[in-house]
Structure 1
Amino acid sequence: MIRKKSRREESLDHAELARLLPAPGDPHLSLDRHLLLEEHLMSEIQLTAPVPAPSRRPARRVLLIGVPVTAAALAGAFAFTMLTGSGGSGTTAATPPPVEAPVVRIETGSTAQLASTVEHIAAAASASKTPEPGPGQYIYIKSKVSYLSVSHTDTDKSKTWVQPLHIRETWNSPDGRQGWLDEPGYQPKGGITLNSDTERNLNGPSYDYLKTLPTDPDALLKKIYKETKGQGNSPDQEAFTTVGDLLKEQLAPAKLNAALYRAAAKIPGVVVVDHAKDAAGREGIALAHVDQQSGDRTEWIFDRKTYAYLGSRGVQVEQVDDVKPGTVLECTAVLERAVVDAQKQRPGAQGTDA
């Protein structure tokens, strides 16, 4: 007797399988869902990555900059992190959804008042009484910040998305070996350690390292160009960025601060912008430089009367990758800079931890 194979035993070709299986669903995600998945993915990456040491451009490097992310790719990465159960030892509060980047009028920079403006800034820096951190103490910096989240999405290339303005606090020992970062919504609850045994340099300086730098502007600028050679989009842009990074979450001796400003004035392409606002809404005058590759201008903002450093701003000045001119890509404001006696301690709360 000849037995016939049942349908279950018969092999099915691709056409037969396609006929039997339901049609695949539409993978398109709404923009809100797209951004939600992107934010979740980036928070998962931050939790699973090794604890970072203090680094240059601390927030901007971990974000998707200028990359058109597809919804399918985000959904796949989201599924991977959920299936593998990845996560850090701490818990992270819900990351605030990104907001549309503000757009400002682009003011043309000028070199007409560059020399006099820099001398005013350098003189103010020299006269300032910078606290000297001692052994066991920590340099405390409190800032208000907003960084680029994603330049655009495949579903909407007309908008650029940034983090909402939020508080970021850092504590660093003078030698740079001990530190702490607290940034609610963007780091695990309570903060993360910044401890590091890495030898300090211009890309990751400590207060003790900064004290070894020359205070002659020409010698200082020569060292900056030498040690940052091959980094960034151009030598001039990298030199300007390096000086700017030393102004944000670091404390430098007064003479070095003055030398940094005088050195920056010697970088080709540096201009003065008469009006700029920091993340706290304070208006001032700015020293600025345009990145010729990315088309954005970095502005260091100073108080118009005291010439004290207020914060920084990144503004797109040329159309690149669908980012409109005038778009504010990042904005910072230094709210407090002090020396405290313990890690996670805030000024005015001596003897108690944060």
Structure 2
Amino acid sequence: MIRKKSRREESLDHAELARLLPAPGDPYLSLDRHLLLEEHLMSEIQRTAPAPAPAPAPARRPARRVLLIGVPVTAAALAGAFAFTALTNSGGSGTVAATPPPVEAPVVRIEPGSTAQLASTVEHIAAAASADKTPEPGPGQYIYIKSKVSYLSVSHTDADESKTLVEPLHIREVWNSPDGKQGWLDEPGYKPKGGITLDSDVESSLGGPSYDYLKTLPTDPDALLKKIYKETKGQGNSPDQQAFATVGDLLGEELVPAKLNAALYRAAAKIPGVVVVEHAEDAAGREGIALAHVDQKSGDRTEWIFDSKTYAYLGSRAVQVKQAYGIKPGTVIDWTAVLERAVVDAQKQRPGAQGTGA
């Protein structure tokens, strides 16, 4: 914003300043967005606060839509926010490369969704999930997941309200033990060099599940969906939206037992508002078909993307379908692609390395 210099050179008292300056803005931050921002900030503080013993990690799923959501910011505030991220990511030990500057969010054509092929599409997806050959992790092994991701940084700045900024697409690797007690995250540019620990003594739950916990969940779609609604009551913008989001969080950085995976898709098909989108693209540029649901409050549609022929899960995308928080329809605010999912014999080991169990 260009401000004209005042013609008066003498100092002004507070009353005159108040009269000359424009009224402060009053950006609205929804409860859902506020809680998401708060969760991210608290998780970073908990992960990085010095302690005599490793602090329990919060949820293992990605902290999505990080930093400032739905709030216009100045260029100086934006720079400060990214500096804060670099400092908290450093954890007080090791070094972290400079966080890459955000980029303008991609914009795509919004394709309408339909329920016409929902039942048949979900059955194809469930059948593919049931036939998944990823081995079950054993004691001492780790679940390894490599993804390409990009999350929302800011909806817009006061310098240019037409631009929504997102993280550049980058690689994220996660290792988790079956019991959820040990883990590691490597996300160059966003975490210290070499990564950070995800070790935790927190009991597993739907909000932060382990493989062993997932094995205890019912595989009957109706019973599973009932449990999801019950345990997420009062969260999110609506019960239906939160149920869909909870299932979606299990698809990215988790290894779900095959029978449960199939049940999750069949349960999701029963959530009101779920539709099929015939064409969608993941963060790796792979085209596929999607199951999608619109968050009526925030105005974005979350899409789970599957290969159109094999129906294997590829990744996810969140596309703004209604103008909200300064974000224009068609803007992609979250984007992921699962590049590799395997079981390995050691933490920080990658598939194909000597001694891997995958």
Note whether the superposition's TM-score is higher than 0.5.
yes
C-alpha separation in 2, matches of 1:322 and 1:314: 16
Correspondence for 1:287: 291
What is the identity, as a one-letter code, of the residue corresponding to 1:232? G
Correspondence for 2:212: 208
Correspondence for 1:277: 281
Deviation at 1:269, TM superposition (A): 0.1
What is the identity, as a one-letter code, of the residue corresponding to 2:208? G
Correspondence for 1:140: 144
C-alpha separation in 2, matches of 1:201 and 1:58: 16
C-alpha separation in 2, matches of 1:53 and 1:44: 13
Correspondence for 1:106: 110
User: Counterparts in 2 of 1:183-202, with a 5 A limit?
Assistant: 183-202=187-206
SS of aligned partner of 1:273? strand
Correspondence for 2:36: none
Identity %: 85
Change (3 A) 1:99 1:204: same
Q: Which runs of 4+ in 1 moved over 6 A?
A: 43-47, 75-82
Change (3 A) 1:79 1:294: closer
Residues 118 and 262 of structure 1 are in contact (CA less than 8 Å); yes or no, is this contact kept in structure 2?
A: yes
Correspondence for 1:7: none
Correspondence for 2:160: 156
Residues 47 and 57 of structure 2 are in contact (CA less than 8 Å); yes or no, is this contact kept in structure 1?
A: no
- Aligned pair 1:119/2:123, yes or no? yes
- Aligned pair 1:306/2:310, yes or no? yes
Unaligned runs of 5+ in 1: 1-16, 20-42
Residues 295 and 320 of structure 1 are in contact (CA less than 8 Å); yes or no, is this contact kept in structure 2?
A: yes
What is the identity, as a one-letter code, of the residue corresponding to 2:153? S
- Aligned pair 1:320/2:317, yes or no? no
C-alpha separation in 1, matches of 2:71 and 2:58: 25
C-alpha separation in 2, matches of 1:56 and 1:114: 30
What is the identity, as a one-letter code, of the residue corresponding to 2:331? T
C-alpha separation in 1, matches of 2:281 and 2:201: 37
- Aligned pair 1:346/2:316, yes or no? no
C-alpha separation in 2, matches of 1:351 and 1:124: 28
C-alpha separation in 2, matches of 1:312 and 1:196: 27
Correspondence for 2:252: 248
Deviation at 1:350, TM superposition (A): 2.8
What is the identity, as a one-letter code, of the residue corresponding to 2:113? G
Correspondence for 2:301: 297
Unaligned runs of 5+ in 2: 1-9, 13-39, 49-55
SS of aligned partner of 1:60? coil
Deviation at 1:89, TM superposition (A): 1.2
Residues 282 and 336 of structure 2 are in contact (CA less than 8 Å); yes or no, is this contact kept in structure 1?
A: yes
What is the identity, as a one-letter code, of the residue corresponding to 1:323? I
SS of aligned partner of 1:140? strand
C-alpha separation in 1, matches of 2:80 and 2:252: 36
User: Counterparts in 2 of 1:58-77, with a 5 A limit?
Assistant: 58-60=62-64, 62-71=66-75, 73=77
Residues 144 and 165 of structure 1 are in contact (CA less than 8 Å); yes or no, is this contact kept in structure 2?
A: yes
Correspondence for 2:177: 173
Aligned pair count? 312
Task: Please provide the CA RMSD for this pair.
Answer: 2.7
Residues 140 and 339 of structure 1 are in contact (CA less than 8 Å); yes or no, is this contact kept in structure 2?
A: yes
Residues 143 and 178 of structure 2 are in contact (CA less than 8 Å); yes or no, is this contact kept in structure 1?
A: yes
C-alpha separation in 2, matches of 1:283 and 1:164: 20
Residues 183 and 199 of structure 2 are in contact (CA less than 8 Å); yes or no, is this contact kept in structure 1?
A: yes
Change (3 A) 1:172 1:71: same
Equivalent of residue 239 in structure 1, options 215, 239, 243: 243
Deviation at 1:185, TM superposition (A): 0.2
Residues 44 and 87 of structure 1 are in contact (CA less than 8 Å); yes or no, is this contact kept in structure 2?
A: no
C-alpha separation in 1, matches of 2:266 and 2:145: 24
Correspondence for 2:16: none
C-alpha separation in 1, matches of 2:353 and 2:82: 41
What is the identity, as a one-letter code, of the residue corresponding to 1:195? D
CA deviations on 1:305-353 (whole Å, 9 max, x unpaired) are 000000000000001122110000010000000000000000001359x
Change (3 A) 1:93 1:252: same
Residues 134 and 343 of structure 2 are in contact (CA less than 8 Å); yes or no, is this contact kept in structure 1?
A: no
Change (3 A) 1:70 1:304: same
Change (3 A) 1:347 1:321: same
